[in-house]
Structure 1
Amino acid sequence: MKYLVIVAAAFGGILLFLLASASANTALFASHYPWLLGLNAIVALALLGLVGWQLRTLWREHRAKVFGSRLKLRLMLLFGLMAVVPGALVYSVSVQFLTKSIETWFDVRVEKALESGLDLGRSALDYLLVDLTEKGRSMALELGDQPDAKRPAMLNRLREQAGVQTAALFSASGQLLASSSGELASSRPPLPTPAQLRQARAAPGHSLIEGEAGHELLLRALLPVVGRGLGEEPRILQLTQDAPASLAQNAESVQAVYRDYQELSLGREGLTRIYAMTLTLTVLLALFGAFALAFVLARRLSAPLSILAEGTQAVAAGDFTPRQAIYSRDELGVLTQSFNRMTRQLDDARRETERHRAEVESARAYLESILANLSAGVLVFDRRFLLRTANQGARSMLADEFAGMIGEGVDSWPRQKALGRAVREAFAEHGEKEWQMQIELDRAGAQPQVLLLRGTELPEASGGGYVAVFDDITRLIAAQRSAAWGEVARRLAHEIKNPLTPIQLSAERLRMKLADRVFGADAEALERSTQTIVNQVQAMKRMVDDFRDYARMPAPELASVDLNALVGEVLGLYETSRAEIDVALAEYLPAVVGDATQMRQIIHNLLRNAEDAQEAEAEPWIAISTRLVDGFAELCVADRGPGFPAEILARAFEPYVTTKARGTGLGLAIVKKIVDEHHGQIHIANRQPNGADVCIRLPLAGAASHALLTVSPSSPES
């Protein structure tokens, strides 16, 4: 690279010497003009090859993705630009100054006048040609409206009106169809060439000036004539007009004078070009030196910067291996050494961070594992009371995946708003104190879900917020209530049954003792009163039996039972029923796990309730069906009665809840108790437009079902 700079300096000196010699002796310079031109061309090509080699080297490094290639290219372009901008400015000013200096040696106004004369002649001819073309367009439009037979006569009339020398109509192939001329001696117009006809057909018209300067000039215009007929072959209209002889002669005179002036000024242009080429070569040499120096500086500067850039990318990728350091006393050497120290410190810090992160992740995973395996539901809120976490226990207990609720306030929850508001109000009421409360959540077609809520505020060290823990105590409360009702039923049965028999015996004894002593109306009153007492005692005994059955229901003896066969047995008792019974039993229904006696009681209670609900109906109807649903055997009984009132629907399974005047309210309660003990599900709903529908799902017999019964409690009510 140093030798190239020396050669460039030598060439610069030679060119400066030639420039000084040319300024002092123009004749000597002109005699060696071809040699100087060739030398300039060789030097320019050599410089071009050198610059191309440098750029090719940088481009190959860039394509090979050599680290630091883009940095070297950018630095080289930056240094080169710093030389190009001033050099280009000096070059442009020098060329302008040189050109204007040489221009002052000649009369510029004469040249301007000659050029203006030439332009004036050209403008006049162009004007005549445009005028001829416009006349031709008007004639073509009028000829297009006429048939071929009338066009020759109209052609002559239109030519005379337009004042055109000749007019001719040709076919698309160039055959002359009609012509008109203003000169009697001229019998045939000048024929257009095939190329001119093609141009006239392809374009909306073709016009040209024929002849040479100093001789006669002919103006020719060719325009297409489009007829009205569909598929009619287009015609070509040709108009010719001789240019004025004086105009042609004046134009030739001006052009001849201008040619002579150009020959006289040829020496001026050559001198200007030689000076310009000399300056150009000088500027190229200066730029070459700048680019060469830029290339050297780019290599020197990019070496440490490339090391730093490579190290930075490695650090960003997680590689903290020390890079190669440049041991120099300048700032770049100090920078690379400092960078290596920084990478070592970062490597130590990363190891420490990884250790802490592993500890945090382990603690977090442990906590998440605990939360995921808790049977209780857990809801965690931040300081703004936005839901942050809901564990699997909460999702299972509420049968809700909390989609669209994480990160939202309770007022924006699409579901479970009652639970969210209850928790928020409890925290607002108790503040930082721990609290406990019990709430009920309504469920469609089922008993309300009772939750026991407990809440506390999270410490500020963990980020603050609130946590609420809840358990589903619906079954616990139901069990307590069932036990309480069972105890009430047992005591009522004990207390009521004891005096019933003496009352009945006393009434019968009175009737026997007084039957022979009273007559007439008194005898009838005695019989009616004693019979009423006996009937009511029997009714109370039946009620006491229901109490006893509910309070002392034995544990089921589970076995494999054919549900369809049990339905058939119970339906045999209803052959004399006045209700129409539709039976739809599923074929190949698997056996269920249950107590046959208690299951008969379930079927009998449901059919009897359906009959009682339709006592006032003229055409009572009952439908009983079985099917296999989601791994359970489902039994459904439907009727056309009035259905369950809205206030009874959610409490239908509680004891002593009934709409019948003579009922005890224990029928559905007994059914619910039996279904629960069989680990089944029961669902009631009203039919549309009227009627009720009761469905029971029982687990199937088999290994999987027995495992389910021994491992998990009964499923939630559907």
Structure 2
Amino acid sequence: MRRALVILASLGTILLFLLATASGNTSAFAKYYTILLSINGLMLLAMIVLVGVRMMQLVQKVKHKVFGSRLTLRMVLMFSLVAVLPGALVYTLSVQFLNRSIETWFDVRVEGALDRGLNLGHNAIDFQQNDLLRKARVIALEIHDENGTALLSRLTRLRDQIGVQEISLFDETGQTIAHIGNENAGLFPSIPDRNQLRQAQQGPLKQLEADTGQGLTMRVMMPVHDTGLSERTRILQLRQPVDHTLAADAELVEQVRADYKQLSQSRQGLKLIYSLTLTLALLMALLGAVALAIYLSDKLAAPLSVLAEGTRAVASGDYSQRQPVISRDELGILTHSFNRMTRQLADARSALEQHQAEQEAANAYLEAMLGSLTAGVMSFDDSWSLASANQSALRILAIEPLQLGSLPLQRWPELYPALMALCDEVMLGFAGREEHWQKSVEVADQKRILQIRGTRLAVGESRTGYLVVFDDITDLISAQRDAAWGEVARRLAHEIKNPLTPIQLAAERMELKLADKLDQPGKDLLSRNAQTIVKQVAALKQMVDAFRDYARKPTGKKKALDLRQLLSEVLVLYEAASVKYEDTTDSPLIVDGDATHLRQVIHNLLQNAQDAIHSQESGQTAEGAVRTPQICVRTEKTDKFARLVVEDSGNGFQPDILPRVFEPYITTKQKGTGLGLAIVKKIIDEHHGRIQAGNRETGGAWVRIDLPLAEE
């Protein structure tokens, strides 16, 4: 912008100077004024485009609310107003003064004097022409009867008397009859044309002609009529040059008058020319002033825009902005203060970030510590809204913090009905005055037992909070129960197994010794009683073996084996049963396990399923469809586990025993020991697997086992 202004100002000054010079010089005006006017017009157009583009850019900045644009526009308008008002006043006065000056150049008296001088010259020439015409009449009267030699003598004498330069006589056709002249006359007469001859025959003719060698020459022609019988008409012509001084004066007056008339007729053009020159000068000066105003306004508003940009950067968190101090005025002081402020803010933010980093590290350490705890930890504010909870608490209670929001603890059962007992116990625990309390609560739908501990928190001087810590002791209680049952099973196996063999041997010996000494009825009675004792002993031995299996310690005989192959080996024994096998994977399911124990697991599950379908006769479902007794075995691969699912179409588990189906001595069979599924769970736990049971929607039960896949 600065370079463009300098170039345009230089070119505009030069062009305006040349235009003004051409306007004051007639020759220069005639040659170069139009070209200079066009060049100045192009320069004006370039300045209009430059100023227009800059103004449009400024208006667009104002529309987009660019900082500093309104101030720049206001300053441009002020500078432009300061330039336009004096310029318009000077232009108006200059135009009026110019018009008045041009009008004073053309005075009516001057024009009248020129006209009178011109008329005076014309009158003098007319007088000489009339005098020459009078002389022609005299000569015509003298020669109207003359012919031949007498005519020439008479014409010569008359020319000498009258003092005419040239006398010529022509016939009607223009043929020369006689020609007399002095030393200044030519050898041959100036022959008139046919038009002149025709006019001369009708009457006297006088003309003023411009002669190349002699200047202005008067020509007078008149008819000469013969008085004889021929009645022919001859034409007399007199030619006399006008006095050189009079001719020069008359020509000068006429030239001056013509020039004056031409100048008078072009005075409107002069006004237009000078007005255009003044208008171009004014417009170029005003546009230059506006362009300079835009440039100066940008220069003045630029530091404010820089500070505004720095302020926005500071508002967005960038405190590294340092603006250069380019002046020592108030703007420079403001810039220096801004730099000092940003430096102080940067130092303060660095200290705050360091403190926040330390606080975040402490919080992260605390969160990591709480996250690594298996116990659930929850804190509540004084309105019983959840303030924080670790992942273990969310996992144990199966809750979503986003769903709870600011819902108080008393209203949690609206979203999670199974937590009603937990919420009641927590509220009851904090209802007393004890600072610390401890209780055990059972979660209804999950059949989990939680050990809860609560304590009050002091949050500030006027607010209180509550901290609840709980552990899932379901597995601990189950392990304690399993250990107790295992101890009972070992003691029973030990105490019962020892006397069973002597009892069986004594019964068999008694039957053998006494059979021959009794009659037939007594012998039959003895045999029946002895067999009863033997069968009951065998049943007791089977029960003792089950106790032994349940109470045994885990073995370390584990190796990699294919669960699919092991299942196929077991299913061979159940070919007679209606067992349907579904394999959803094409690859082997390799697990680390004890083949004997896993085979026992499959046997127990298939035997339970077979017993379930045998106790359920073929019938119809609730929808009326025929239900056929069937066992379905399915293997599949899920993530990092090999899954085995056994389903049957029996009666399923009773709802009251389903949560405790894997506990010892829980059974629905009339002759069952209740240790089958307990032994299965114990074996699966030893293999670090998972086991679940449930009822099918279409009727029957299912048992699902997940065993970890062996690492390749």
Q: TM-score by structure 1 length?
A: 0.53
1:88-127 deviation digits (Å, cap 9, x = unpaired): 9xx9xxxxxxxxxxxxxxxxxxxxxxxxxxxxxxxxxxxx
- The offset of 1:504, in angstroms, is 5.0
- The offset of 1:324, in angstroms, is 1.3
Tell me which amino acid in the other structure corresponds to 1:352. A
* Structure 2 Cα separation of the partners of residues 639 and 535 of structure 1: 31
Matches within 5 A, 1:327-476: 327-328=328-329, 335-336=334-335, 338-381=337-380, 384-387=383-386, 389-394=388-393, 402=400, 404-405=402-403, 407-409=405-407, 411=411, 418-419=418-419, 422=422, 426=426, 429-430=429-430, 433-441=435-443, 448-457=447-456, 459-460=458-459, 466-476=466-476
- The offset of 1:670, in angstroms, is 0.8
Partner of 2:487: 487
Tell me which amino acid in the other structure corresponds to 2:650. G
Aligned residues of 2:438 and 2:454 also touching (Cα < 8 A): yes
Aligned residues of 2:412 and 2:420 also touching (Cα < 8 A): no
1:640 aligns with 2:649: yes
* Structure 2 Cα separation of the partners of residues 70 and 583 of structure 1: 76
Partner of 1:16: none
Q: SS state of the match for residue 557, structure 1?
A: coil
Partner of 1:604: 603
Q: SS state of the match for residue 680, structure 2?
A: helix
Tell me which amino acid in the other structure corresponds to 1:542. Q
- The offset of 1:664, in angstroms, is 0.9
- Structure 1 pair 387–608 and aligned structure 2 pair: CA distance change class (3 A): same
- Structure 1 pair 666–285 and aligned structure 2 pair: CA distance change class (3 A): same
Is the deviation greater in 480-489 or in 406-415?
A: 406-415
1:656-715 deviation digits (Å, cap 9, x = unpaired): 0001111110011111111111222223233353333333333344x44xxxxxxxxxxx
Q: SS state of the match for residue 327, structure 1?
A: coil
1:535-584 deviation digits (Å, cap 9, x = unpaired): 33432332222222212255251123344454454445556x6x434455
Partner of 1:580: 578
- Structure 1 pair 337–624 and aligned structure 2 pair: CA distance change class (3 A): closer
Aligned residues of 1:322 and 1:343 also touching (Cα < 8 A): no
- Structure 1 pair 78–424 and aligned structure 2 pair: CA distance change class (3 A): farther
Partner of 1:78: 74
Aligned residues of 1:426 and 1:435 also touching (Cα < 8 A): no
Partner of 2:304: 305
Q: SS state of the match for residue 698, structure 1?
A: strand
Task: List runs of 5+ in structure 1 lacking aligned partners.
Answer: 5-41, 92-279, 705-718
Is the deviation greater in 374-383 or in 672-681?
A: 374-383
* Structure 1 Cα separation of the partners of residues 687 and 285 of structure 2: 103
- The offset of 1:482, in angstroms, is 0.8
- Structure 1 pair 303–399 and aligned structure 2 pair: CA distance change class (3 A): closer
Aligned residues of 1:307 and 1:324 also touching (Cα < 8 A): no
Q: SS state of the match for residue 324, structure 1?
A: coil
- The offset of 1:485, in angstroms, is 0.7
Q: SS state of the match for residue 652, structure 2?
A: coil
Partner of 2:539: 539
Aligned residues of 1:451 and 1:473 also touching (Cα < 8 A): yes
Is the deviation greater in 476-485 or in 582-591?
A: 582-591
- The offset of 1:650, in angstroms, is 1.8
- Structure 1 pair 333–428 and aligned structure 2 pair: CA distance change class (3 A): farther
Tell me which amino acid in the other structure corresponds to 2:482. S
Tell me which amino acid in the other structure corresponds to 2:435. K
Give the structure with higher Rg (CA).
2
* Structure 1 Cα separation of the partners of residues 599 and 368 of structure 2: 46
Aligned residues of 1:496 and 1:544 also touching (Cα < 8 A): yes
Q: TM-score by structure 2 length?
A: 0.53
Q: SS state of the match for residue 683, structure 1?
A: strand
Aligned residues of 1:561 and 1:596 also touching (Cα < 8 A): yes
1:36-86 deviation digits (Å, cap 9, x = unpaired): xxxxxx9999999877755555667899x99xx966653354367689999
- The offset of 1:588, in angstroms, is 5.3
* Structure 1 Cα separation of the partners of residues 587 and 294 of structure 2: 91
Which of residues 654, 658, 661 is equivalent to 2:670?
A: 661
1:415-466 deviation digits (Å, cap 9, x = unpaired): 76645983685166326834444444456xxx73444444445552699755
Aligned residues of 2:51 and 2:290 also touching (Cα < 8 A): no
Q: SS state of the match for residue 560, structure 2?
A: strand
- Structure 1 pair 543–47 and aligned structure 2 pair: CA distance change class (3 A): same
1:696 aligns with 2:696: no
Tell me which amino acid in the other structure corresponds to 1:477. I
Task: List runs of 5+ in structure 2 lacking aligned partners.
Answer: 10-38, 89-278, 619-627
Aligned residues of 1:640 and 1:691 also touching (Cα < 8 A): yes
Tell me which amino acid in the other structure corresponds to 2:345. L
Partner of 1:684: 693
Aligned residues of 2:375 and 2:470 also touching (Cα < 8 A): yes
- Structure 1 pair 293–434 and aligned structure 2 pair: CA distance change class (3 A): farther
Tell me which amino acid in the other structure corresponds to 1:358. A
Partner of 1:321: 322
Tell me which amino acid in the other structure corresponds to 2:407. G
- The offset of 1:412, in angstroms, is 6.8
Tell me which amino acid in the other structure corresponds to 1:673. K
* Structure 2 Cα separation of the partners of residues 47 and 621 of structure 1: 103
- Structure 1 pair 55–591 and aligned structure 2 pair: CA distance change class (3 A): closer
1:650 aligns with 2:646: no
Partner of 2:162: none
Q: SS state of the match for residue 665, structure 2?
A: coil
- The offset of 1:376, in angstroms, is 4.0
1:5-62 deviation digits (Å, cap 9, x = unpaired): xxxxxxxxxxxxxxxxxxxxxxxxxxxxxxxxxxxxx999999987775555566789
Aligned residues of 2:661 and 2:667 also touching (Cα < 8 A): yes
- Structure 1 pair 683–48 and aligned structure 2 pair: CA distance change class (3 A): same
- Could you say what the CA RMSD is over the residues aligned between the two structures, in angstroms? 6.0
- The offset of 1:603, in angstroms, is 2.3
Percent identical across equivalent pairs?
49
Q: SS state of the match for residue 349, structure 1?
A: helix
* Structure 2 Cα separation of the partners of residues 75 and 620 of structure 1: 92
Aligned residues of 1:388 and 1:406 also touching (Cα < 8 A): no
Q: SS state of the match for residue 593, structure 1?
A: strand
- Structure 1 pair 464–311 and aligned structure 2 pair: CA distance change class (3 A): farther
1:333-361 deviation digits (Å, cap 9, x = unpaired): 66455444433433332332233233233
Tell me which amino acid in the other structure corresponds to 2:348. A
* Structure 2 Cα separation of the partners of residues 465 and 298 of structure 1: 62
- The offset of 1:364, in angstroms, is 3.2
- The offset of 1:498, in angstroms, is 5.1
Tell me which amino acid in the other structure corresponds to 1:346. L
Tell me which amino acid in the other structure corresponds to 1:599. L
* Structure 2 Cα separation of the partners of residues 583 and 474 of structure 1: 35
Aligned residues of 1:497 and 1:544 also touching (Cα < 8 A): yes
Tell me which amino acid in the other structure corresponds to 1:642. N
